[in-house]
Structure formats: C-alpha cells, structure tokens
Amino acid sequence: MEADYVIVGAGSAGCAIAYRLTEAGKSVLVIEHGGTDAGPLIQMPAALSYPMNMARYDWGYASEPEPHLGGRSLVTPRGKVIGGSSSINGMVYVRGHARDYDHWAEAGADGWSYADVLPYFRRMESWHDCGQGGDPAWRGQGGPLHVTRGPRDNPLHAAFVEAARQAGYPLTDDYNGQQQEGFGPMEQTVWKGQRWSAANAYLKPALRRDGCAILRALARRVVIEEGRATGVEVERRDGRIEVIRARAEVILAASSLNSPKILMLSGIGPAAHLAEHGIPLVADRPGVGQNLQDHLEVYMQMAASRPVTLFSHWNLRGKARIGAEWLFTRKGLGASNQFESAGFIRSRAGVEYPDIQYHFLPLAVRYDGQAAAEGHGFQVHVGPMRSDSRGAVTLRSADPRAKPVIRFNYMSQPQDWEDFRACIRLTREIFAQEAITPFIRHEIQPGAALQSDAEIDGFIRDHAESAYHPCGTCRMGRRDDPLAVVDPETRVIGVAGLRLADSSVFPRIPNGNLNGPSIMTGEKAADHILGRAPLAPANDRPWIHPDWQHAQR
C-alpha cells in the first residue's frame, strides 16, 4: 500500500490535512489506530462525558505522579477514534487570543502571527451566530467546520453573565471576534444537534473523494532511508507488521503525546534518551518531547437555591428522555454540550490580555459524569491560561505498544499558585453579585470556610484537574534553534520528507480550548505541504483593554 502522502493520525489536524490534500487531487492514506465514531455516545453532544472514559475511544493515558499535586496521577484522555480528540472532547470552540499567535511568531514560528493565522480560521469556519449577536466581519463562512452557540435557555446563564458585568467586567458577544476579554455566549462545534468533529467536518468528505483511504493500524515508527522519510511501519489489527510507503511525504498528526513518541521510536529525539532504549539515532533533536504544557482547572461548585439546574434530568428516566428526543429529532438538551456561557479575564493589572478562562455549566458534575452529592447545583471551570510550568513526554521502552511517560510538572512555578488563588477569589467575587446570589444556597467547592492562601493551596493541590489541553512537545521554531523540532513550514528538522502538524508544534499554549487551533494548524500546514503561498495576512486589530497596565478590569 502506498500513497502520495501518508498521514499518521485521524485527529483534528490530520483530518484537515487529508481534506485539503485530496481537494488538491493528491492521494492520501490516513493511518488511525482507533475505529468508527458511529453511535450516540460520540455523536450526541450532551453525552460528552462517556467517550472520554471508554477504552474503546481513548488511549487511556495518565500522568506520572505529580509532585506538586500531592503525588496524584491525572488522567490524560486522547481520542483513539476517527476524529481523534475532537470526537471525545467537550466541543468548546475557542480560537485563542491574537497575542498568543504573535508570541508564536516572536518565538521563532515565522509566518504564524495572528495576522497570518486569522485567514485560516476564517477559511475553516462556517460560523452561525444563532441570533445571539457576534462579530461577522471577523468570522468565516463556507468552511467545513460548523461553529454554533447553545440556546442559553437556562436562567443561570444570564445570571452568571450579568453577575460578571456587575463585578465590573466587560461583556463580549463574540470572544472569537475582535474582543476576547469579557463574558458572553460560548461557542461549540455542534451542527444540527450533532457533534461536528474533525471526522464529520473533514475526514468523511475527504474519504468520498478518489484517492483517499483510511487504514486501521498502529503506527510503530517512521521508515527513514538515507535521511529521508519513505513510509510508516505499522502493525495491522491481525498482528502483521508492514510498511506503508509515501511517494511524497509522511505527515505525523498523532497528538502531542503520540507524535513525539513516534519520532523518538523512529530515531529522532534526544540522543542520550534514545541510546537508553537502544534506538539507533537518525537526528539528534533534544526538543522532542520537551516543552509539554497543559491547562489546569478547578470546578467551583455552588448548591442551587432553586430547582433550575440540569439536575432534574440527572437520573435514568431523564437521561432516557433526553436521549430519545435527540435520536428522533436531534433537538432538546441532548443537542448541546451545555457549556453555553463563557468568560475571559485578566488576573491582575499589568497583564495585557486574558489569562483566566471560565466555562459555565448549569449543573454541578465532574467530567467523569459524577454529579455532586448536593443535588441541584451549578459550576464554573476556572484556571490560569499561561502557566510557566513545563513537563515532558518520554519513552517508557522501545516497544511501540508501551504507553509514553507523561510528566506535566504542574504547579512547579510560584506564579502558578498566585494565579490560581486569584482565579478562586475573583470567581467568589462574581458569585457574590446580586444577579446570581438568589440562585445560590451555599458554596459546595472549595467551601466558604477555605479562605487563607494555605487553605486555598490545599484545595488546588487536592482537586485541580487537567482541562485536557496537552501541547507543545515538538515545538515549532527556526531551523537554527536547537530546541525546535519543526520549522515554520512544519518540516521536521534534520529529516527530509517528514512533516509534523498537530498541537505538538505550539510554541506556547493558546488562551482557550485547543481543538480550534489544532484544526487551524492542519489547515495552514496543508498549504505548506502543497507548496502554496500562504493566505494573505489580515489587517484586523484585536481589542486590548486600554488601561491594562494599571487596571485588572
């Protein structure tokens, strides 16, 4: 089996690349270890807590014990299914802040500033304002990725946003438009009541074209001959090992955890680490697997004084009713991820653009589906966006079936603790406003008794969870940067015929959820792969708080 391009990973970026390459008439073979995304557990938006906790759809990774979080090992779901993590995620759509991409360019990712990437966000989107306002001039129409908004029917959404306004924060009716900072509607990759994953948006249309196929197999390593990638060694489902040949290039898009693992198994990575595992060195790239970043968050939960939350449906009969309505009509509560209101704020004066994100949910529940014992309640997921803590992904062994060693090194910087305390105290201030206090009985978590720095730190240590946004492990940079892994055209430095395009290449984690930026990376990488001139830079100017140097809000 061979094709012009062999793509490893049918995730957010890989699907976008397959779509654009086949659109240009190239033959593409996509290697994906996972299987089908058929069925309501993936396709029904409200069922999001199920697939990320199922071995059928998830790689089952977890961090090593985290020394600054009391030795806890945190689960790190990654999608093992067509669509990758876009098929098991929370479907929240955030582009990231303009300054995030300007920072990428300053860090050596030439051609990836906000002016450079905004045209790709527009190209990929089919944006729907859903009658809630928005910023049409900043958004895209006609792209494969449908972006919508939930109905926000629950009164808690309006109460939360109004409480933030009363606390002195701005409102924004489109955080993906000119102004991210503020509170307003949250966007989701849902279309006509169905999860609009990268598989639905990109891969399935690509597979309907001549010259595109998918192979279900485990990618073991990239085959490199005389310094050039010529194919991928795979293990088929029946145990057979064979090589899939690429006539033009091999493209890794296997996630920020699996892409560095495959590079290292192929002999590309830190020389000493590869030698430990007896792997012959092809290219000494010490940055492979380094620079691991993630978003950490806590769930601040409030017990509700009125039965207006989704807890009324949190029982077998209620879930069955929601599921049946969705199956027959694609409408109702099952048609939304329920994350329908959002906020982006700055933690303190002197921070130029938001570094705290809010997801609001009219239910007190964990990502694993465990509802709070209090019954009726609601919560915000809140955490800092730009931690300086860095971790690493390394090999456990030279066996391609072995899970990688994942060390995030969360909360290893003193500033992390200051920022997290600010998250909790600023959130309490919002929940103290008169717009929302009538809905609050008491604070479930952390609990009003926890007030001192030490008490809040203890809560963070025991209860902070990953937001499931790992990235940065194969950083993009200039070719003379010893720690860069790919150049700004997504070519792996030191090996010909090999590209890498997924969230691994992010120099620094963007401000928000990573599915949108990952798809954008695939879109832009496709133009580089095809040798096309990038889309013309945009001239749009984002809104920055005029007094950010002296005011927190």
Provide the whole-model pTM. 0.98
DSSP 145-162: EEEEE----SHHHHHHHH
Q: Tell me the torsion sign for CA atoms 21, 25, 26, 32.
A: positive
Tell whether 543 is covered by a domain. no
| Shared-domain flag, residues 9 and 133 | yes
| Shared-domain flag, residues 155 and 283 | no
User: Residues forming the annotated binding site?
Assistant: 81, 89-92
CA distance 247 to 257: 26
Query: How many of the other CB atoms lie within 10 Å of CB of 438?
Result: 9
| Shared-domain flag, residues 211 and 106 | yes
Residue 359: which of 427, 409, 414, 406 has the closest Cα? 427
| Shared-domain flag, residues 333 and 445 | yes
Going by their DSSP bridges, the two strands 377-384 and 440-445 should be labelled as: unpaired
pLDDT value of position 369: 66
Catalytic residue among 103, 146, 376, 469: 469
Answer yes or no: are the C-beta atoms of 98 and 105 closer than 8 Å.
no
Strand partners for 150: none
Q: What is the DSSP letter of 199?
A: I
The pair of three-digit structure tokens given for residue 259, joined into one six-digit string: 């892409």
| Shared-domain flag, residues 127 and 206 | yes
Angle 509-511-516 from CA coordinates, rounded to 5°: 85
Beta strands in 371-493 (DSSP E): 377-384, 392-394, 405-407, 440-445, 465-466
pLDDT value of position 225: 98
Tell whether 405 is covered by a domain. no
Q: What is the CATH number of the domain that holds 234?
A: 3.50.50.60
Beta strands in 323-459 (DSSP E): 341-345, 356-361, 377-384, 392-394, 405-407, 440-445
Residues 6+ apart with CB under 8 A from 232: 6, 8, 31, 219, 220, 221, 222, 223, 243, 244, 246, 250
pLDDT value of position 374: 80
Residue 185: which of 194, 176, 193 has the closest Cα? 176
Q: What is the DSSP letter of 238?
A: T
Radius of gyration of the chain (CA): 22
Query: How many of the other CB atoms lie within 10 Å of CB of 225?
Result: 9
CA distance 124 to 106: 25
CA distance 120 to 94: 14
The pair of three-digit structure tokens given for residue 486, joined into one six-digit string: 């790919």
| Shared-domain flag, residues 169 and 268 | no
Tell whether 533 is covered by a domain. yes
Answer yes or no: are the C-beta atoms of 509 and 385 closer than 8 Å.
yes
Three-state DSSP state, 472: coil
Supply the range of the domain harboring residue 374.
151-185+296-384+412-463
CA distance 151 to 50: 23
Tell whether 506 is covered by a domain. yes
Going by their DSSP bridges, the two strands 498-500 and 241-252 should be labelled as: parallel
Q: How far apart are the first and last CA of the chain?
A: 58
| Shared-domain flag, residues 454 and 521 | no
Q: What is the pLDDT along the chain (553 residues), one digit of tens a residue?
A: 899 999 999 999 999 999 999 999 999 999 999 999 999 999 999 999 899 989 999 999 999 999 999 999 999 999 999 999 999 999 999 999 999 999 999 999 999 999 999 999 999 999 999 999 999 999 999 999 999 999 999 999 999 999 999 999 999 999 999 999 999 999 999 999 999 999 999 999 999 999 999 999 999 999 999 999 999 999 999 999 999 999 999 999 999 999 999 999 999 999 999 999 999 999 999 999 999 999 999 999 999 999 999 999 988 999 999 999 999 999 999 999 999 999 999 999 999 999 999 999 999 987 666 667 688 999 999 999 999 999 999 999 999 999 999 999 999 999 999 999 999 999 999 999 999 999 999 999 999 999 999 999 999 999 999 999 999 999 999 999 999 999 999 999 999 999 999 999 999 999 999 999 999 999 999 999 999 999 999 999 999 999 999 999 9
Is residue 376 part of the annotated active site? The answer reads: no
| Shared-domain flag, residues 29 and 90 | yes
Three-state DSSP state, 375: coil
pLDDT value of position 1: 87
| Shared-domain flag, residues 267 and 175 | no
Tell whether 80 is covered by a domain. yes
| Shared-domain flag, residues 141 and 240 | yes
| Shared-domain flag, residues 169 and 209 | no
Tell whether 544 is covered by a domain. no
| Shared-domain flag, residues 300 and 374 | yes
Q: HSE (CB half, 13 Å, CA atoms) of 486?
A: 32
Tell whether 542 is covered by a domain. no
Q: What is the CATH number of the domain that holds 318?
A: 3.30.410.40
- Give the total number of structural domains in the chain: 2
pLDDT value of position 314: 87
User: Residues forming the annotated binding site for FAD?
Assistant: 81, 89-92
Distances (CA, A) of 169 to 164, 174, 176, 386, 551: 6, 15, 17, 20, 11
- Owner of token pair 């309006």: 158
Residue 473: which of 250, 255, 277 has the closest Cα? 255
CA distance 530 to 508: 26
CA distance 391 to 385: 16
CA distance 504 to 498: 15
